[in-house]
Amino acid sequence: MDSIVEEGGATGKGAPAAVDASRRKFMHRMYNLGLALWAGAAMGTGGYVVGRYIWPRPEGSTTGGERSASFPLAQLDEQPMVKLLVEGQPVGVVRVGPDVYALGLVCTHLGCLVGWNPEARQMVCPCHASRFEVTGQVAQGPAPAPLKRYEARISGDTVVVT
């Protein structure tokens, strides 16, 4: 009789097992909730870090969702193409001779990101080998349309893209 009181208390012998199962279920749900929150935070942070790695913000630039972006002209001496975001769209700025050109980097074929080939002076798509002139015009398909062209101008020591 003493053992029944110790195990079940006033509610009887089966109650502690039900309470344990309920507590276990609650703890399991809390664990899953915590895991889901942690995974969401980790994915958000990871996505931001990967995005910043792929699209680094040039030093001294004003880039992002703005309608225009700028960066120091000297950066074009250090790297063949400076990547920016203009209105949230990836844009590549290159210099050919004294002129600067800014082109959208999304291929008009199936949307891969093109890269700059300084020797050929062309944007080249890694997916299906489309090529674009520095003006954005298609030099070789299958891309059906030119790359989006942005206005790029040199203002003192700064390149401004709009």
Q: Which residues lie near ligand FES (CB under 6 A)?
A: 107, 109-110, 112, 125, 127-128, 130, 142-143
Closest contact distance (angstroms) between CB of 139 and ligand FES is 12
Closest contact distance (angstroms) between CB of 48 and ligand FES is 26
Which CB sits closer to ligand FES, 123 or 152? 123
Instruction: Look up residue 96 and give its two tokens.
Output: 């050919």
Which CB sits closer to ligand FES, 113 or 160? 113
Closest contact distance (angstroms) between CB of 79 and ligand FES is 22
User: For residue 113, which of 100, 97, 124, 102 has the smallest C-alpha distance?
Assistant: 124
160: CB partners within 8 A, 6+ apart? 68, 69, 70, 152, 153, 154
User: How many CB atoms lie under 10 A from the CB of residue 4?
Assistant: 10
Rounded-to-integer distance, Cα 129 and Cα 125, Å? 5
Rounded-to-integer distance, Cα 128 and Cα 37, Å? 40
Which CB sits closer to ligand FES, 71 or 116? 116
Closest contact distance (angstroms) between CB of 131 and ligand FES is 9
User: Per the omega criterion (within 30 degrees of 0), is the bond before 118 cis?
Assistant: no
Which CB sits closer to ligand FES, 15 or 145? 145
